[in-house]
Chains A and B, each alone.
Chain A
Amino acid sequence: EPEVTQTPSHQVTQMGQEVILRCVPISNHLYFYWYRQILGQKVEFLVSFYNNEISEKSEIFDDQFSVERPDGSNFTLKIRSTKLEDSAMYFCASIPGGRYGELFFGEGSRLTVL
């Protein structure tokens, strides 16, 4: 069964460093998302991406964050200058077809900022 794949599974970085998290969504899916889950907290929406542009972003998704789909298959989340509070599990997700459909998540990338 096709799945959303994410790399790296775990990244440790120093505060202030740039981090890029990568995702390969399921190939025929059209809507792409990033969510995050801080340890012990709810899963939170960060950003949605459709037709090569951001459709919606949360207040968490400030100027330190950016997303890209550089080559038609990969979908990346960049954090320019990481802070301690960016430590979380970051999940990529995608939907086939219409935007009201079933959301499929990857296994996540755990980011630890020291």
Chain B
Amino acid sequence: KQEVTQIPAALSVPEGENLVLNCSFTDSAIYNLQWFRQDPGKGLTSLLLIQSSQREQTSGRLNASLDKSSGRSTLYIAASQPGDSATYLCAVRGMDSSYKLIFGSGTRLLVRP
């Protein structure tokens, strides 16, 4: 059964720092992995979708990498801003069932001005 873990659970950094959020999954047989942002009490905003055949995807200051064989993904945020404060979730779509995403618990990020 696929399990997704995100470390750290919470992170507080000063504005301007580059940071890395980690996501690991137990079953490497995945179609893709998606990173989301969730603001308190709000829905999930898709940040990046990375297919199993890809090593990384970039969008603006965000870069997601995927190492499928080791069951890991990282989300790199460059030059963090207070507006980046949110919970970041990763989710995988496994080959055992292509319809659903399995989510991690998220990393709660606070960027201090």
Question: A residues touching B (Cβ–Cβ < 8 Å)?
Answer: 4, 31, 33, 35, 41-45, 48, 55-56, 58, 91, 93, 99-108, 110
Contacts and interface: CB of A to CB of B under 8 A. Distances in A.
Interface stretch (B17-25, B44-52, B61-69, B73-81): B44-52
Contacts, number: 57
Given A100-B32, A100-B93, A105 B43 contact: yes
Which A-B residue pairs are the 3 nearest by beta carbons? Answer: A45-B100, A107-B43, A48-B99
B97 to A, nearest CB: 6
Given A42-B104, A43-B91, A100-B93, A55 B99 contact: yes
B100 A106 contact: no
Q: How large is the interface on B (under 10, 10 to 19, 20 to 34, 35 or more residues)?
A: 20 to 34
A2 B14 CA distance: 34
A104 B42 contact: no
Contacts of B107: none
A105 B45 contact: yes
A103 B99 contact: no
B103 A108 contact: no
